């Protein structure tokens, strides 16, 4: 665990140094676009991995009870993340000039609906 945290820390430090070196001069706009694409790629990869683990947990939850604990934790995280996305969406909607950009709010509602579906599955499984 310490090695993983150290690796993540070194990666963040290296990205910070490279970002500050590239921040000098006309490369600034390209750097911002690159950083945004890197963040989007990392987040998309993490979301895909989380969905794969969640599907595995749902599929194996009937035979292995330890996966049910994982699905409960995933439901809690999804509820918190969905609430945060709804909050960010409402703030973004309020601060944008042409009112109508509600993609963050929509994404938050979709995440909350997914968390609700997980909760329904867990409640149904507990009753059985």
Q: How is the chain split into domains, by residue range?
A: 31-127
- In order of 34, 36, 68, 117, 122, the CA distances from 59 in angstroms are 37, 34, 10, 15, 13
How many Å apart are CA 90 and CA 31, to the nearest integer? Answer: 29
The pLDDT tens digits for 41-100 are 877 787 777 778 777 877 777 777 777 777 788 888 888 888 888 888 887 777 666 666
The tokens describing 47, both together, are 């979301």
Q: Mean pLDDT over residues 116-121, rounded?
A: 85
What string of DSSP letters covers 56-102? Answer: HHHHHTTT-HHHHHHHHHHHHHHHHHHHHHHHHHHHHHHHSSSTT--
The whole-number pLDDT of residue 51 equals 77
pTM of the model: 0.59
Quickly count helices (H) and strands (E) in the chain.
4, 0
């Amino acid at each position: 665990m310490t090695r993983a945290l150290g690796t993540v820390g070194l990666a963040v430090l290296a990205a910070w140094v490279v970002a500050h070196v590239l921040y000098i001069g006309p490369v600034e706009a390209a750097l911002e676009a690159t950083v945004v694409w890197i963040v989007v790629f990392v987040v998309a990869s993490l979301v895909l991995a989380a969905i794969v683990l969640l599907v595995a947990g749902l599929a194996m939850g009937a035979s292995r009870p330890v996966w049910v604990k994982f699905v409960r934790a995933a439901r809690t995280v999804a509820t918190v993340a969905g609430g945060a996305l709804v909050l960010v969406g409402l703030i973004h909607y309020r601060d944008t000039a042409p009112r109508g950009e509600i993609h963050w709010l929509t994404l938050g509602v979709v995440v909350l609906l997914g968390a609700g579906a997980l909760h329904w599955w867990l409640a149904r499984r507990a009753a059985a």
